[in-house]
């Protein structure tokens, strides 16, 4: 099937493109390289474009005979969303509406959406399942929830079929070492820790007084290859007539910030230089997934999400790319 991957040159997008190809699909990447990297697209057709460009979007959807869309092209930094909310509403909501409208006009009605565990806010119970209360505590999470609602309304009005995947903490790198995680600026803990240790630089940990086992935030880390495979299963589900649905995608195992630092130090063999500072706005103490539903319905079976595998594959990529991808 021809799959348009919006944001396919980004971290999760590039890993999903690789998995799509290995599973017999034909991905076409649509990206403006604002957060993605040309080097991450290996032997894959791509279109340089913005989701705000409806004319180019429709031209691409028709020309490439697209069967379904995977949408990764959203901003993702919680802290930035609190400081600059309009940036997140404009891109994550308005541009997604543009995409859905173009799909409707081109008679394409299947989409897998990159959502987030941030839609739950500060959950009242752990682990979180898909039926729990949705109460985002930052603009990033709010924009993801708005899009989930938009998808349901497009289903009701126009017969769209969608899968929304609520990610927990995507992490690690492809076991081949050819593609990995490189955001600028980087906001994710594992690459921050690894790069800081490699370069001997100090980094910050926000908050040591949370009600967790060691006072630092606890997160559920899912290997990016396992996450990419979830997207392939979601696409296959829609193409074979599966119903619209929403799934958590996480490992079900929680690790604190301090534990991530300790495992990274063990794998790399060097000590980290850590500056423990005040809490950051918009960070819930603990996020931990109940992924029973996706395992049951889509038969998802994560293979790489043990924490030492996650950090080892991430370190392998960063060690061979100490300055990340080339900037264009």
Does residue 31 sit in helix, strand or coil? strand
> 296: how many CB neighbours lie within 10 A of its CB?
10
Q: Say which of 11, 75, 120, 140 is annotated catalytic.
A: 140
DSSP letter assigned to residue 244: P
Which DSSP string corresponds to 203-220? EEEE-S-SSSSSSS-EEE
37 near 26, Cβ under 8 Å? Answer: no
Active site annotation includes 153: no
Which DSSP string corresponds to 77-89? -HHHHHH-HHHHI
Distance CA 137, CA 124 (A): 13
Cβ neighbourhood burial of 295 (10 Å; 0-12, 13-18, 19+): middle
The C-alpha angle with vertex 219 and arms to 15 and 12, in degrees rounded to 5, equals 10
List active site positions: 140
């Amino acid at each position: 099937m021809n799959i348009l991957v919006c944001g396919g040159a980004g971290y999760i997008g590039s890993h999903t493109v690789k998995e799509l190809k290995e599973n017999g699909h034909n991905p076409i990447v649509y990206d403006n390289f604002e957060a993605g990297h040309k080097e991450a697209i290996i032997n894959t057709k791509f279109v340089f474009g913005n989701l705000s460009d409806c004319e180019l979007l429709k031209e691409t959807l028709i020309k490439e005979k697209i069967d379904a869309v995977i949408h990764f092209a959203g901003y993702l930094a919680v802290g930035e969303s609190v400081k600059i909310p309009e940036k997140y509403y404009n891109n994550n909501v308005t541009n997604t509406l543009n995409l859905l409208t173009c799909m409707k006009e081109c008679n394409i009605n299947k989409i897998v959406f990159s959502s987030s565990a941030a839609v739950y806010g500060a959950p009242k119970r752990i682990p979180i399942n898909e039926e729990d209360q949705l109460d985002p505590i930052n603009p990033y999470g709010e924009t993801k929830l708005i899009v989930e609602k938009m998808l349901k309304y497009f289903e009701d009005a126009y017969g769209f079929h969608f899968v929304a995947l609520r990610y927990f903490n995507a992490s690690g790198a492809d076991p081949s070492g050819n593609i990995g995680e490189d955001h600028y600026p980087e906001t994710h803990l594992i690459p921050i820790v690894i790069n800081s240790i490699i370069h001997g630089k100090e980094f910050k940990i926000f908050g040591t007084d949370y009600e967790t086992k060691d006072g630092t935030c606890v997160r559920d880390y899912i290997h990016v290859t396992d996450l990419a495979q979830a997207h392939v299963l979601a696409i296959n589900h829609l193409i074979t007539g599966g119903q619209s649905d929403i799934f958590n995608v996480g490992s079900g195992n929680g690790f604190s910030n301090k534990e991530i630092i300790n495992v990274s130090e063990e794998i790399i063999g060097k000590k980290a230089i850590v500056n423990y500072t005040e809490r950051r706005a918009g960070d819930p103490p603990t996020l931990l997934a109940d992924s029973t539903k996706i395992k049951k319905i889509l038969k998802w079976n994560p293979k790489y999400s043990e924490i030492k595998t996650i950090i080892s594959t991430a370190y392998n990529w960063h060690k061979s790319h100490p300055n990340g991808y080339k900037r264009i």
